Every structure is written in C-alpha cells, then in structure tokens.
Homo-oligomer: A and B are copies of this chain.
Amino acid sequence: MKVDSVEFFYLAMPEVTTAADGSQDALVVRVTAGGFEGWGECEASPLPSIAAFVTPMSHGACRPVSASVLGETLDSPDDIRRMAAKIAYNSMDLLQAAHTWSGIEMAMWDGLGRARGVPTYQLLGYPKAYPKVPYASVLFGATPQQTLERALENRKAGFRAAKFGWAPFGASLASDIAHLDAAREGLGPEGILLIDAGQIFGEDVDAAAARLDAMERNRVTFFEEPFHGSAYRAYGALSKRTKTVKTAGGEAAHSRFMAEHLIDFGGVGYIQIDCGRIGGVGPAKDVADYAVKRGVTYINHTFTSNLALSASLQPYVGLADHRICEYPTGLQQLARDLTRNHIVPNANGEIVLPDGPGLAIDINPDALVQYRVDVEIKVGGKTLFSTPSY
C-alpha cells in the first residue's frame, strides 16, 4: 500500500487558559493508505506542526515532513521505521518535524494494526498486554490543606497512586515539606506518591536536593523533572544524592537519543516517554528496550485524549514489571468527546488496554466538527493547507 493522505484536525476548547493542562486543544491526524485508515495525535502546538508538514523546502536537509511520507510504501513496521529515518535525515534542520511526525507515526501503527487485525503492541513484538496501576495526575493545592483534600479525593476515587505537580511546589522549602507531608497523609500509608516539580529548579541541584529528606521520609517513589529537561549534569548530580527516591524525566524527548542520554548521563530511575513527541510509538519502544537493558523503569507520559493514552501504553504494555502508568484525570470535554470508547480503571483499579486491532480507540467524528479550529495557510499565493472537512 501507498500512503494516500495525511490529514490534520486542529481542535480546541472555546477557551484555552495558561493552566498546565494539555487537553485544552488537540492535533489529531488521520492517515489513509490503500484501503485502511489510522488515527494519531501529536502532543504539540498544532499550527507549527501543521506548518512543518506543508512548508516549502528550504534545502536538502530542511524538507517538509510531507516529502518523506506521502506516496511512500506502508506494508509493515519496517516501512514506518524507514520513513522515520528519512525524516530524521531529510528534515534534520526542521526542528518541529519530530512533533509533526509523532502523530502520523502513531496513526500508521494504528492503521497497520487494523489492516492486520492485531493490536499495535503485538506489531511491536509483545505477545501479551499486562495491566498497569494508574496514577492520578493532579496539581498541588494552593495550600497544604488543599493538597491533603485532593489526595483524599483520589484515594476515595480508587487510585492507588497519585502524582502531585507544579506550583506552588518550589516556592519555599517549608511550604514544600508541608505539601509533601499533606500528600502522604491524604494518600494513606499504602498509596504510591509521586512528585512532579515542573522544572522549577532550573539547574540548581542543591535546591532540589534540599527536598530529598522530606521525600525519603514520605516515601516518594519518583521525583519528576526537578530541572530543565536537558540539564543532564544536574539530573546526574541529584540522582547520586538520593537513597530510595528515584529521579524521573524524559517527557520532552523528541528523539530516542534524548531519552537514552537522560538514562546514561542523568541517572534517572524512571524514563517518561510521550509518544506524541518522541517520534511516535516506534522510538518509544526502542527506549523501553533500552530501559530494560539499563535496569530503568519505563513509564508513559500523556496528558491529552484516550487515543494518545492508548498509544502511550503500547511501547511498554508487554513489560509486566513496569507497573505504573500515567492516567490523565480531569480531561477537558474536548478530550473526552474525541473518542467513542474510553479507557477506565477496572474493578481492581487497574488500566487494561481495550480489546481490538491497532490502538483500539475509535474517533468520534462529531468532535472533529464541534471543536474544529479552521486553519488556512497560503504561501506565495498558493493554499498549502486548509482544514479538511470530515
């Protein structure tokens, strides 16, 4: 089969705020090849990602993503990897290319699975999918009391794990300790407690390390993104100062190299991969393989729709020992409406992939209409992109 079309649907809530909530908009991708179609989602800024697909060529090493995709043969996983390599080489100077390609790549694994009638994780080489323990991803409260209440709510909702993140964490040591104690109290002694610092410490290892005692005492499982995503030396220095707490990071990786470096040079204990950024499901599986080799735990990163959630689980769903998974709660209506079926914790409070071929998530076409953001891009008088109708 040949890749016949790649369509981008930019969707958004009527109002988008500065909250650290990635489900406020979406860039959904449909790929058709021969008789089949597949769906994916870029975890990316929609407009620049569309532009990276349609842009005119700048030179041989700065070609649009479309040049390495449209008309290409798509019969097997190897074809997807071949296209990925082509983009890495021919679009090496187009920075946004990895984010654009991520959604396309995901759609190809979905479509290929549907065409063959097998789930994507089987195409990736896993015979079996294991259940995961989801953590609820929530923001710290404005006060320790609020943090405690949120932890209690999550426990009541049946979550065995919760991740608290972002401001006010980092504001002051005393406040951070109070929030950590509150989170542990709310989760109870058995709850799995995770912390996401949202890069607040920049490269300041001492500032991050000052929180370690309170984290060890509260049995925090991982300490995510204390630093800028690329500050490997800072990660490496902090990782050496931990006892039981592990450092975690990797969500911004836009190539498998970046994730591998965070493991090798940053010493993280958990590597968090977003399939909507790293170049899709294939390189994420490569990172999972690498993590296994290095004794590091793989974990998905995702904060948009259940389509992206399903994609994010495929690369490590076959690894029984890599137990926890990110599970976005509090999604915006757009992200909930986007899919006909949803992934919800089962009676054991665990996440199991839906049965079915590909990513096994069905798109709801009504959402493509309801939340549609029209885009038109003209260059040199020619229309290069105009939002497709569904």
Contact = CB atoms under 8 A, between A and B. Distances in A.
Interface in A20-56: 20-22, 24-25, 43-52, 54-56
A373 B18 CA distance: 33
A60 B92 contact: no
Interface stretch (A120-128, A186-194, A253-261, A356-364): A253-261
Nearest to A167: B60
Nearest to A98: B95
Contacts of A233: 260, 264
A10 B56 CA distance: 11
A386 to B, nearest CB: 9
A147 B277 CA distance: 41
Contacts of A16: 56-59
How many copies of the chain does the oligomer comprise?
2
Interface in A338-390: 373-381, 384
Given A61-B20, A95-B99, A12 B257 contact: no
Interface stretch (A103-111, A223-231, A311-319): A223-231
A56 to B, nearest CB: 7
Given A16-B59, A47-B56, A376 B378 contact: yes
Contacts of A49: 48
Interface residues of A, number: 69
B373 A380 contact: yes
Given A18-B57, A24-B58, 15 more contacts: A44-B94, A44-B95, A45-B93, A46-B58, A48-B48, A48-B51, A48-B95, A92-B252, A95-B98, A96-B96, A231-B257, A232-B265, A233-B264, A261-B265, A377-B378
5 contacts: A10-B379, A22-B62, A46-B55, A48-B49, A48-B94
